[in-house]
């Protein structure tokens, strides 16, 4: 099985998610309530993904798999979105960035514990090295444990755990169904829950005049790139690679974020710490990829 395509897809996925931190923050600063942003993102992304899935293949979801799809939607869309937003409201952006990189660690542990993957020393070492590099990059010493942030920190951790379970348990469905169908169905089911929750905030934002031309342009980017493109390519890679390998690329997200900041912000510069941390992250991800390439090609 050729694995170059899925690896390139994962690079695009993490770059796409990195842009969300920059553009999504700008939308929120413009006055958009978090739940309104989630509702708009999930609604339009689900419609686009559903249209693409129907155009590619008219396969229907079997009744026997309906509960599994609903479970994936709960883990990867509904809880993933709500826990992160509610956690971010109660903790700092620095804490959230640091805690997000527990996703590859959780994914490896879950996959091994539920018997979906075998423990491989090279992959585990790679995750550890990349984790060390990411924590260095994100200045882990700034992590705050004050009582006022405990609930927020816990919600972010639960968000990461939920997404890790999603990565592990989505693989069996991806082996049986087109990857685009799986992501479209999970988003559509998520929209059924999240859109009614966010609709009052969307109406409030419209009444407050938040929807400027700039905000609309940024919303289009959020819907197309870190939603439709990122989730579709992530599922494409998940269909072909192990869950822990896919999750390990999350470590690249802050690297792309810093490179974007350096490109767009005049005061941002590369320093020794960033270069060292980036080297550790790339080395760790390379070890995980080598472990992936060394395994048998049978699913």
Task: Report the pLDDT value the prediction gives residue 72, as an integer from 0 to 100.
Answer: 95
Rounded to whole angstroms, how far apart are CA atoms 179 and 188?
Answer: 14
Beta carbons of 119 and 112 less than 8 angstroms apart: yes
From CA 247, how far away is CA 49, in angstroms rounded?
22
Per-residue model confidence (pLDDT) at position 190: 95
Distance CA 49, CA 58 (A): 13
pTM, two decimals, is 0.86
Nearest to 242 by CA among 171, 183, 141, 187: 171
Residue-wise DSSP of 168-182 = HHHHHHHHHS-HHHH
The answer to whether residues 235 and 170 touch, using CB atoms and an 8 Å cutoff, is yes
Half-sphere exposure of 256 toward its Cβ, with a 13 Å CA cutoff? 18
Question: CB count, 10 Å around CB of 259?
Answer: 16
- Spell out the per-residue pLDDT of the chain, length 299, in tens: 455 889 999 999 999 988 887 788 788 889 999 899 999 999 999 999 999 988 877 778 888 889 999 999 999 999 998 888 888 878 877 677 778 888 999 999 999 999 888 888 888 998 999 899 888 887 788 777 777 788 888 998 899 999 999 999 999 999 989 999 999 999 999 999 999 999 999 999 999 999 999 999 999 999 999 999 999 999 999 998 999 999 999 998 888 877 877 776 566 667 788 888 888 888 989 888 888 877 665 44
Q: Considering only CA atoms, which of 115, 127, 235, 257 is closest in space to residue 175?
A: 235
> What pLDDT does 248 receive?
92
pLDDT of residue 267: 64
Q: Which of 276, 226, 167, 215 is nearest to 18 (CA)?
A: 226
């Amino acid at each position: 099985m050729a694995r170059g395509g899925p690896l390139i897809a994962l690079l695009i996925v993490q770059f796409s998610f990195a842009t969300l931190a920059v553009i999504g923050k700008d939308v929120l600063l413009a006055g958009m309530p978090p739940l309104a942003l989630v509702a708009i993102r999930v609604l339009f992304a689900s419609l686009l993904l559903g249209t693409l899935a129907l155009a590619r293949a008219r396969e229907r979801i079997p009744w026997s798999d309906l509960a599994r799809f609903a479970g994936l939607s709960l883990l990867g869309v509904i809880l993933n979105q709500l826990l992160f937003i509610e956690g971010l409201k109660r903790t700092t952006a620095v804490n959230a960035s640091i805690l997000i990189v527990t996703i590859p660690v959780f994914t490896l542990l879950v996959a091994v514990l539920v018997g979906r993957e075998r423990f491989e020393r090279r992959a585990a070492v790679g995750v550890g090295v990349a984790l060390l590099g990411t924590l260095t990059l994100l200045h882990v010493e700034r992590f705050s444990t004050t009582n006022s942030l405990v609930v927020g920190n816990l919600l972010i951790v639960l968000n990461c755990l939920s997404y890790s379970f999603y990565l592990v348990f989505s693989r069996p469905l991806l082996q049986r169904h087109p990857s685009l169908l799986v992501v479209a169905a999970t988003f559509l089911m998520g929209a059924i829950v999240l859109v009614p929750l966010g609709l009052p905030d969307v109406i409030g934002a419209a009444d407050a005049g938040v929807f400027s031309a700039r905000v609309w342009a940024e919303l289009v980017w959020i819907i197309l790139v870190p939603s439709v493109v990122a989730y579709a390519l992530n599922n494409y890679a998940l269909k072909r690679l192990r869950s822990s390998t896919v999750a390990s690329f999350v470590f690249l997200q802050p690297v792309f974020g810093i490179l974007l900041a350096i490109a767009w912000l005049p005061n941002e510069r590369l320093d020794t710490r960033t270069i060292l941390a980036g080297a550790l992250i790339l080395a760790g991800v390379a070890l995980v990829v080598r472990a992936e390439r060394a395994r048998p090609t049978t699913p």
